[in-house]
Chains A and B, each alone.
Chain A
Amino acid sequence: MNNWIISGASVLGGEPADIFVRDGVIADSAPDSAQRLDATGLIALPGLVDLHTHLREPGREDAETVETGSRAAALGGYTAVCAMANTDPVADTAGVVEQVWRLGKDAGLVDVQPIGAVTVGLAGERLAELGAMATSAARVRVFSDDGHCVHDPVLMRRALEYVKAFDGVIAQHAEEPRLTVGAQMNEGDTSARLGLAGWPAVAEEAIIARDVLLAGHVNSRLHICHVSTAGSVELIRWAKSKGWRVTAEVTPHHLLLTDDLVEGYDPVFR
């Protein structure tokens, strides 16, 4: 019995309408013996996809597991999540990405799509076996060292080129590491006054500028994780205007929180 009439929801933010579900699938007419669900005042959207989650399993099950992350995702209206590779062990082999993929299947709440590491152990020194991860049961297509920047330009170029063989994409954590040694917050008036080592916008933008040029040069797909500066947006807009295959994401906290929250030195706001 998985027949529903969801009534009164604003579909995609438009006029309220009834949505029919027959055997768990959206249908064009009311199914027999359907249960009615009053959704007046709510907005109906298709299942959302979160490209950037940390499910922490394997290794940090005390913080999150594939199952708890799946639950949170389902409650928030997400039907698919991509799990970043900075687990322990790192998701840099077919074995680990398959483990995460299976845990997602077992939880059975949302599609859990593992992301594979670009470099072995996220160390930024040599490529992980991207092809093995791509052809594994997990069918990895997105690769990222998130948490670390693939800062070596040659390695980044090779990664972008290599994943073209299986229509992959490199998701870059854009942070020039030498410009952010000890950095604790956005560099500006507030960091200067608080005496906290600043993280300059250029540390993000310099990598994005380099990588969109690389992606354009080798005609590959680049995704930029958690974009946080206006300059980055301009660079990405420029790259798109060239027809290069560049996408980007942004986080709620980068949109909504500002430097002044750090005034009390509460590390939550770092």
Chain B
Amino acid sequence: MIEHLLSSSDLDLETATLVLDTAAEMAAVSGREVKKLPTLRGRTVVNLFYEDSTRTRISFEAAAKRLSADVINFAAKGSSVSKGESLKDTALTLQAMGADAVVIRHPASGAPHRLAGWIDGSVVNAGDGTHEHPTQALLDAYTMRSRLGRLEGLRVALVGDVLHSRVARSNVWLLRTLGAEVTLVAPPTLLPVGVDSWPVQVSYDLDSVLPKLDVVMMLRVQRERMNASFFPSVREYSRRYGLDAARMGALPEHAIVMHPGPMIRGMEISPEVADSTRSTIVEQVANGVSVRMAVLYLMLGGMA
């Protein structure tokens, strides 16, 4: 059904909807006492993580295990990679061990594309550099649909470091496919140069955007950006682009607040917003497992 998932732009409306519908069925399994399906018994899924990641790796691991796949976790730290092995050689090693799917997280944009050209199995991009993180976009879309009942016509703002955000890129393409209207909100320094050609609205002013939204998604500002002149100070960033209780009050009654995590409380989001009933942050994590189960199922399920 799906060969590789490298970019959310690989998914057309029909396939993206199928993933979300399948995820809903998987969620039902996760609600049972025995959270396990035999579907991928005998299949091997490798988690190949070149960057530290807790939630994404665990989420993929849980997803594969609930489908009864064998899971091999390969972290670059303390492995053959730290001895100087190249990505290609690592890939061929995993291939020789019979990996049916490789889930890869890598600091270099495009690493999953290269990997897909070297191995026979399926490749899932679990975040590559500043490029994409398609399963995050899928779980975000799933969360929006389950909270708000639809995706078509939803008004969604992505707020923060769009320039370096793989979550933002994947969300832009997927939400476009699913018919939502996306607004990117950021200081001009944190927007990419080519953004004019993206299918989005752009605003530098969070306050003017909030009253028209169904969804506001806050993006993390990484620590290493904080002293690199993208903005004058954390305090000023927080004042102009942070979501606090007052700003949350400007949102329409039904609007939800999302964050892909890990969040920095007090920077882009205040604690009272993060912990409010409008926040879907914990739900997003739970939905992540269902969506990743759906992706692995649609990739590997048909070929056993």
Q: Is the CB of A191 within 8 A of B194?
A: yes
- Can you give 23 A-B contacts (C-beta < 8 A)? A187-B193, A188-B193, A189-B197, A191-B192, A192-B192, A192-B193, A192-B194, A192-B195, A193-B169, A193-B194, A193-B198, A194-B109, A194-B110, A194-B131, A195-B169, A196-B110, A196-B129, A196-B130, A196-B131, A197-B130, A198-B192, A264-B117, A265-B110
A147–B194 alpha-carbon span in the complex (Å): 27
Q: Is the CB of B194 within 8 A of A190?
A: yes
Residue A124 is within 8 A (CB to CB) of chain B in the complex = no
Residues 190-230 of chain B, each 1 if its beta carbon lies under 8 Å from chain A, else 0: 00111101100000000000000000000000000000000
A190–B166 alpha-carbon span in the complex (Å): 15
A196–B132 alpha-carbon span in the complex (Å): 11
Interface residues on chain A, size class: 10 to 19
Across-interface contacts of B109 in A (CB, < 8 A)? 194-196, 265
**A195-B132, A264-B113, A265-B110 given as contacts; is B169 within 8 A of A189 (CB)?**
no
Q: Which of B167-204 contact A (CB under 8 A)?
A: 169, 192-195, 197-198
Residue B128 is within 8 A (CB to CB) of chain A in the complex = yes
A194–B194 alpha-carbon span in the complex (Å): 11
Nearest-Cβ distance from residue B211 to partner chain A, whole angstroms: 29
Residue B114 is within 8 A (CB to CB) of chain A in the complex = yes
Across-interface contacts of A194 in B (CB, < 8 A)? 109-110, 131
Q: Contacts A188-B193, A197-B130 known; list 9 others, CB within 8 Å.
A: A187-B193, A195-B130, A195-B132, A196-B130, A198-B193, A200-B193, A264-B113, A265-B109, A265-B111
A126–B250 alpha-carbon span in the complex (Å): 59
CB-CB nearest in chain B for A262: B110
A189–B198 alpha-carbon span in the complex (Å): 9
Q: Which of A111-163 contact B (CB under 8 A)?
A: none
Q: Is the CB of A265 within 8 A of B166?
A: no
Across-interface contacts of B131 in A (CB, < 8 A)? 194-196
Across-interface contacts of B198 in A (CB, < 8 A)? 192-193
Across-interface contacts of A200 in B (CB, < 8 A)? 193
Residues of B within 8 A of A (CB): 109-111, 113-114, 117, 128-132, 166, 169, 192-195, 197-198
Q: Which of A192-217 contact B (CB under 8 A)?
A: 192-198, 200
CB-CB nearest in chain B for A184: B109
Across-interface contacts of A197 in B (CB, < 8 A)? 130
* Count of CB-CB pairs between chains A and B under 8 Å: 46
A189–B193 alpha-carbon span in the complex (Å): 7
A189–B113 alpha-carbon span in the complex (Å): 19
A187–B193 alpha-carbon span in the complex (Å): 7
Nearest-Cβ distance from residue A204 to partner chain B, whole angstroms: 15
CB-CB nearest in chain A for B169: A195
Across-interface contacts of B111 in A (CB, < 8 A)? 265
CB-CB nearest in chain B for A197: B130
Across-interface contacts of B113 in A (CB, < 8 A)? 264-265
Across-interface contacts of A196 in B (CB, < 8 A)? 109-110, 129-131
CB-CB nearest in chain A for B129: A195
Across-interface contacts of B132 in A (CB, < 8 A)? 195
Across-interface contacts of A192 in B (CB, < 8 A)? 192-195, 198
CB-CB nearest in chain B for A181: B228
Across-interface contacts of A265 in B (CB, < 8 A)? 109-111, 113-114
A190–B131 alpha-carbon span in the complex (Å): 11
A198–B194 alpha-carbon span in the complex (Å): 10
CB-CB nearest in chain B for A196: B109
A190–B110 alpha-carbon span in the complex (Å): 13
Across-interface contacts of B195 in A (CB, < 8 A)? 192
Across-interface contacts of B114 in A (CB, < 8 A)? 265
Across-interface contacts of B130 in A (CB, < 8 A)? 195-197
A193–B173 alpha-carbon span in the complex (Å): 10
**4 smallest beta-carbon distances between A and B, as pairs:** A265-B110, A195-B131, A192-B194, A192-B192
Across-interface contacts of B129 in A (CB, < 8 A)? 195-196
Across-interface contacts of B194 in A (CB, < 8 A)? 188-193
A200–B109 alpha-carbon span in the complex (Å): 18
Across-interface contacts of A187 in B (CB, < 8 A)? 193
Across-interface contacts of B166 in A (CB, < 8 A)? 195
Nearest-Cβ distance from residue B274 to partner chain A, whole angstroms: 27
Nearest-Cβ distance from residue B210 to partner chain A, whole angstroms: 26
CB-CB nearest in chain A for B192: A192
Q: Is the CB of B193 within 8 A of A195?
A: no
A187–B192 alpha-carbon span in the complex (Å): 9
Nearest-Cβ distance from residue A227 to partner chain B, whole angstroms: 21
Residues 166-185 of chain A, each 1 if its beta carbon lies under 8 Å from chain B, else 0: 00000000000000000000
